[in-house]
C-alpha cells in the first residue's frame, strides 16, 4: 500500500454550501492520504477490531455536485436553515476565474476515531455507538457548544430551535434504526455514495479495487469516510 501526503482546507460560506479556492485546497492544514493498489493492511486492521463499524464511501468521480443529497438530508432530519449536516463543496481545479473544472468534496462528520467532540463534552451527550457512529444524545445536551468548537472539520451546529448540537449521524435515528440506509445514499441520482459495515464484502471489495483517499485534520482520529478523487467539467453559472 502506497500513500502520498497532501493538504486541503475549507471555508464555510452561505447556506448549506461550501466555497473553496484551489489555493486553500492545496495550502490548508489537513492531510489527505491516498491509498493505491491492495488495501490488505487496512483490511487486516479492520478485521482485528472487535466492534462492528459503519463506513461511507463518496465516489467523487460519480458525484456531479448537485447537492440533492444535502437537500434530502435537510428534509429528512429537519435541519434548520441556519445549520447543515451535509454539503458538497465545489473546489475549482485552478484559481482562474474562468475555471470550469471542479472537484466535488463531501463536507460532513467523519465519524473519526478518538473524536475530540466526544472528549470535550461535559455531559456525555456526544458519544459513539456500537457501530462506531458518533452521535448526540439530545436529552443530555446542554447546548454549551464545546463539541462544536472542538470539531476540526466544523461540521456541527447548534440547533436554534432545540438548542442542542446536531451533525451527521448517518441518519441513525431517522433511518438506520428502521432498517434503511442514510437518506443521502438513497437520494443520490448518480449512485456516488456507498454505505455499509466496514468489514462487509461490498465495502471491502470497493476498497480493494479502487484508488481512494481519506481526509484527516490534526487532532482527529482515523476517518470512517473514504473518498475516490474525481473532477468534472461544468458550466460556470452552475457553481
Domain count, the chain: 1
Closest CA to 59 of 195, 171, 182: 195
**Please, which pLDDT band fits residue 37 given cuts at 50, 70 and 90?**
very low
> Could you tell me which residue, 27 or 181, shows the higher pLDDT?
181
Q: Which long-range contacts (C-beta less than 8 Å, at least 24 apart) are formed by 177-185?
A: 182/56, 182/73, 183/69, 183/72, 183/73, 183/76, 183/77, 184/69, 184/70, 184/72, 184/73, 184/86, 185/56
**Please, which pLDDT band fits residue 34 given cuts at 50, 70 and 90?**
low
Tens digits of per-residue pLDDT, 195-237? 999 999 999 999 999 989 998 888 888 899 999 988 766 655 5
Tens digits of per-residue pLDDT, 105-137? 999 999 999 999 999 999 999 999 999 999 999
**Please, which pLDDT band fits residue 50 given cuts at 50, 70 and 90?**
low
Asked whether the beta carbons of 234 and 65 are under 8 A apart, the reply is yes
Instruction: With respect to residue 58, please indicate whether it lies within any of the assigned structural domains.
Output: yes
pTM, two decimals, is 0.80
Find the CATH number of the domain harbouring 64. Answer: 3.30.70.20
Instruction: With respect to residue 132, please indicate whether it lies within any of the assigned structural domains.
Output: no
Query: What is the residue whose three cell numbers read 443521502?
Result: 184
pLDDT at 103: 85
Instruction: With respect to residue 19, please indicate whether it lies within any of the assigned structural domains.
Output: yes
| Spatial separation of the C-alpha atoms in residues 67 and 6, rounded to whole Å | 26
Domain residue limits at 215: 5-115+185-238
Determine what percent of the chain is predicted with pLDDT higher than 90.
61
Amino acid at each position: 500500500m502506497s500513500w502520498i501526503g497532501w493538504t486541503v482546507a475549507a471555508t464555510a460560506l452561505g447556506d448549506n454550501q461550501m466555497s473553496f479556492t484551489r489555493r486553500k485546497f492545496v495550502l490548508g492544514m489537513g492531510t489527505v492520504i491516498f491509498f493505491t493498489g491492495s488495501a490488505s493492511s487496512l483490511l487486516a486492521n479492520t478485521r482485528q477490531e472487535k466492534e462492528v463499524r459503519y463506513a461511507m464511501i463518496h465516489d467523487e468521480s460519480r458525484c456531479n455536485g448537485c447537492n440533492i443529497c444535502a437537500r434530502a438530508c435537510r428534509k429528512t432530519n429537519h435541519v434548520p436553515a441556519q445549520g447543515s449536516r451535509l454539503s458538497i463543496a465545489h473546489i475549482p481545479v485552478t484559481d482562474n476565474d474562468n475555471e470550469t473544472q471542479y472537484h466535488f468534496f463531501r463536507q460532513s462528520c467523519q465519524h473519526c476515531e478518538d473524536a475530540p467532540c466526544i472528549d470535550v463534552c461535559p455531559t456525555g451527550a456526544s458519544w459513539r455507538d456500537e457501530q462506531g457512529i458518533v452521535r448526540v444524545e439530545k436529552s443530555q445536551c446542554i447546548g454549551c457548544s464545546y463539541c462544536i468548537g472542538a470539531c476540526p472539520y466544523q461540521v456541527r451546529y447548534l440547533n436554534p430551535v432545540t438548542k442542542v448540537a446536531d451533525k451527521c449521524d448517518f441518519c441513525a435515528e431517522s433511518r438506520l434504526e428502521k432498517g434503511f440506509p442514510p437518506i443521502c445514499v438513497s437520494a443520490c441520482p448518480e449512485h456516488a455514495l456507498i454505505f455499509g459495515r466496514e468489514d462487509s464484502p461490498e465495502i471491502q471489495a470497493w476498497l480493494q479495487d479502487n484508488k481512494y483517499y481519506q481526509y484527516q485534520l490534526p487532532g482527529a482520529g482515523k476517518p470512517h469516510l473514504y473518498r475516490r478523487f474525481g473532477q468534472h467539467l461544468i458550466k460556470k453559472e452552475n457553481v
